Amino acid sequence: MPRELEPAIAQREFVLAALKQGLRTDGRALLESRKPELVFGEELGMVECKLGKTRVFANVSATIVRPRQDRPYEGLLTISSEISPMASSVYEAGRASDEEVAITRMLEKVIKRSGAVDLESLCILAGQRVWHIRLTLHFLSDEGNMLDCACLAGITALRHFRRPEVEVIGEEVIVHSPEERAPMVLSMHHTPICITFALFEDSSSPVLDPLHLESQLATTTVHLALNAQKELCVMHKAGGMPLSVEEIMKCVKIGVERVREVSKMVNEALEEDWKGRVVEIR
Amino acid sequence: MSRVELLSVHNYRSDGRRPKELRDISLSLGTHGHADGSALVSHGLTNVLVTVHGPREAKSRANTLFDRAVLSVNVDIPVFSGGQGGKRGRSDKRVLEFTSAIRQTFEPIVQTQLYPRSQIDIFVQVLQQDGGLLQTSINACTLALIDAGIPLTDYVCAITCALHDSTPLLDITSLEESDLPNLTAAVLPKSGKITLLTLETRIHVDRFEEMFTLAEDAGKVVHGEMLRAVTTRTERLVRAMEKGGVQDHSRTGIERPSARRAEMDIDMDDV
């Protein structure tokens, strides 16, 4: 496995010295995030999220399957998030790097464990037929903070997606095509949004939305997932530089503010896109 | 499915504990003969054995670093330990995450710069699990590293905390773990800082701070226990050395079978 090159000494010193003065290489303030840009595809459930040069494409599809034996009333949600060498040459196909494991597990916790999608509403016929929602993420380019980008793309795609309406008559299931009946939105409990901070040895404040170079140089990173209801869904800080309680609480407070802005933006983007779509109901 | 009452009206938990009561902690050091350091730690029914080998020459030169030692962590969670979901292979994402959480926690704590071009192997063997697996494993790793005589900047004391309605519950069992939002925190008692913090499922931000500070205090209690275990162990070793039985032959490379046996005997008597 090729190990990623460490940043050059001059580069490291420049970035760290600039951060000490509260400056970042791309001109942002320490607590300023890149503006996420959501591009909706032709089909429902296709979303590309751009965070500067970081790009993640999310696609949602649904099929009808038999439910799990132990959970006859629940639909299934699977997230596939393999990072291909397309994103960056350090990722190898078919071999999970540390980064990939971290991203996959975080997405699973943020989207699945926190119960963002109402799985019980995906049940068609108890014990026999349920919807299987598949969220596929394609990591197109890595310029830092792929997790936040992927999470935003995934959550937006799930909210953008519409599944065909089904009708149950006795034991028979009829799936109506979109031309016949308006497809239905997935029922969601909440919209978790992921926020990443990078922390440096002697920088006064945490750095929001780190670039690739910044996350390489950071002494530790903190991932938070919050929703607009001020609920903390997932928090993850594995090792690295130890932090005091105040520092962690500071990150949480900043996260709360930031999430409010992002969820507002997502809602607006979804509304905007929905206006432009013609859905025929006959 | 019958639901077990996680916290009764009289403020008792499903296993009869109070909300802020920890489970029985048992810490034993140097349980393993061949390893450089080992520890068997149990919090209630969660039982983990950690062995540390090294610092030693790395198996593959490609994985070494010129300026510090490399930590390699191996985790084995067998089926008989009683986790959910059957067999967990080495490539299971959850096991990989668990492994990297342990490695990343100890990388800044272990003074790796003292052992350039070498490797420290940490083997985590889960024997039984009943909630708080990460907590138990981290505590066991700390003790095993201390037992191996590897310099650490501080103890790492981990603890779990869950939230039932508005009552924080410390040191959770698997029953509580699967139903309640919970966090695992690893505290450095000397500086009072946090190295590892993971939280799962939804809680309100205001409740989080309460849980978090409680976990921090509980970490210090665990530290007290660990300190006692290490002191007892060291006192015992010193006593054994005063008897004159323990001699270090590893440096000369010459091994005298009789002396070796004498050392073993003392170990057996005292440990």
User: How far apart are alpha carbons B207 and B169 in whole angstroms?
Assistant: 12
For A181, counting Cβ atoms within 10 Å of its Cβ (0-12 exposed, 13-18 middle, 19+ buried), the class is middle
Residue B211 located in a structural domain? yes
**What is the average pLDDT score of chain A?**
90
pLDDT of residue A281 exceeding 70, the answer is: no
Mutation target to probe the A interface, by most A beta carbons within 10 A, among B98, B135, B199 is B199
Q: Would you say A44 and A160 are in contact if contact means Cβ atoms under 8 Å apart?
A: yes
User: How far apart are alpha carbons B236 and B267 in whole angstroms?
Assistant: 9
Residue B3 located in a structural domain? no
Residues in chain B within 8 Å Cβ distance of A109: 200
Determine whether the interchain pair B105/A238 forms a contact, defined as Cβ–Cβ distance below 8 Å: yes
Residue B74 located in a structural domain? yes
> What pLDDT is stored for residue A182 in this prediction?
87
User: How far apart are alpha carbons B165 and A234 in whole angstroms?
Assistant: 18
Residue B105 located in a structural domain? yes
Residue A272 located in a structural domain? yes
Q: What is the crossing angle of helices A245-275 and B205-242, to 10°? A: 140
- A95 to chain B: closest CA residue: B91
pLDDT mean by block of 10 residues, chain B; 271 residues:
77 91 93 90 95 89 87 92 72 88 93 93 94 95 95 95 92 91 93 91 88 90 94 92 65 42 42 40
Alpha helices (H) in chain B, listed in sequence order = 93-106, 133-147, 174-179, 205-242, 257-270
> What pLDDT is stored for residue A192 in this prediction?
94
The two beta strands, A193-199 and A207-208, are antiparallel
- State the Cα torsion A50-A47-A195-A263 to the nearest 10°: 110
Q: Which helix (H) or strand (E) holds A264?
A: helix A245-275
- A153-157, A213-217, A227-231, A277-281: segment of lowest average pLDDT: A277-281
Total count of domains within chain B: 1
Chain A closest-CA separation from residue B169 CA (Å) = 18
For B132, counting Cβ atoms within 10 Å of its Cβ (0-12 exposed, 13-18 middle, 19+ buried), the class is buried
User: How far apart are alpha carbons A211 and B50 in whole angstroms?
Assistant: 37
The number of CA neighbours under 13 Å toward the Cβ of A164 is: 16
Residue A29 located in a structural domain? yes
pLDDT in tens, A10-29: 999 999 999 999 899 999 99
CB-nearest partner of A109 from B100, B200, B206: B200
Percent of chain A with pLDDT over 90: 69
> What pLDDT is stored for residue B264 in this prediction?
41
Residues in chain A within 8 Å Cβ distance of B208: 232, 235, 252
- A250 to chain B: closest CA residue: B209
> What pLDDT is stored for residue A209 in this prediction?
93
Residue B196 located in a structural domain? yes
Residue A1 located in a structural domain? no
Domain range spanning residue A17?
Answer: 9-281
Chain A closest-CA separation from residue B195 CA (Å) = 4
CB-nearest partner of A232 from B192, B193, B205: B205
Chain A closest-CA separation from residue B99 CA (Å) = 10
Determine whether the interchain pair B108/A101 forms a contact, defined as Cβ–Cβ distance below 8 Å: no
Determine whether the interchain pair B103/A239 forms a contact, defined as Cβ–Cβ distance below 8 Å: yes
Of B122, B127, B123, B40, nearest to B83 by C-alpha is B127
Measured at the CA of B76, the angle between CA B74 and CA B78, to 5 degrees, comes to 175
> What pLDDT is stored for residue A91 in this prediction?
86
**Inter-chain CB pairs, A–B, below 8 Å:** 104
ipTM of model over 0.90: no
HEC states along A63-128?
EEECCCCCCCCCCEEEEECCCCCCCCCCCECCECCHHHHHHHHHHHHHHHHCCCECHHHHEEECCC
Let me know how long chain A is: 282
Mutation target to probe the A interface, by most A beta carbons within 10 A, among B205, B210, B211, B213 is B205
> What pLDDT is stored for residue A196 in this prediction?
95
Let me know how long chain B is: 271
Determine whether the interchain pair B93/A101 forms a contact, defined as Cβ–Cβ distance below 8 Å: yes
The CATH number assigned to the domain holding A122 equals 3.30.230.70
Residue B81 located in a structural domain? yes
Domain range spanning residue B63?
Answer: 13-252
Determine whether the interchain pair A239/B188 forms a contact, defined as Cβ–Cβ distance below 8 Å: no
Residue B96 located in a structural domain? yes
Residue B265 located in a structural domain? no
pLDDT in tens, A160-200: 999 999 999 988 889 998 888 888 999 999 999 999 999 99
pLDDT in tens, A79-118: 998 888 888 888 888 777 888 889 999 999 999 988 899 9
pLDDT band at A280 (very low <50, low <70, confident <90, very high): low
Of A2, A37, A5, nearest to A212 by C-alpha is A5
Mutation target to probe the B interface, by most B beta carbons within 10 A, among A248, A256, A259, A260 is A248
Residues 6+ apart with CB under 8 A from B204: A230, A231, A232
Chain B closest-CA separation from residue A154 CA (Å) = 18
- A67-71, A216-220, B241-245: segment of lowest average pLDDT: B241-245
Residue A167 located in a structural domain? yes
CB-nearest partner of A233 from B97, B188, B202: B202
The CATH number assigned to the domain holding B237 equals 3.30.230.70
Residue A2 located in a structural domain? no
Of B47, B184, B71, B205, nearest to B128 by C-alpha is B47
With H, G, I as helix, E, B as strand and everything else as coil, classify residue B268. helix
Determine whether the interchain pair B205/A256 forms a contact, defined as Cβ–Cβ distance below 8 Å: yes
Encode burial over A254-264: b for 16+ CB neighbours within 10 A, e otherwise: bbbebbeebbe
Residue A4 located in a structural domain? no
Other residues' Cβ atoms within 10 Å of the Cβ of residue A174: 11
Task: Tell me the DSSP string of B121-155.
Answer: EEEEEEEE-SS-HHHHHHHHHHHHHHHTT--BSS-
Determine whether the interchain pair A242/B105 forms a contact, defined as Cβ–Cβ distance below 8 Å: no
Residues in chain A within 8 Å Cβ distance of B108: 219, 239-242
Task: Tell me the DSSP string of A45-56.
Answer: TEEEEEETTEEE
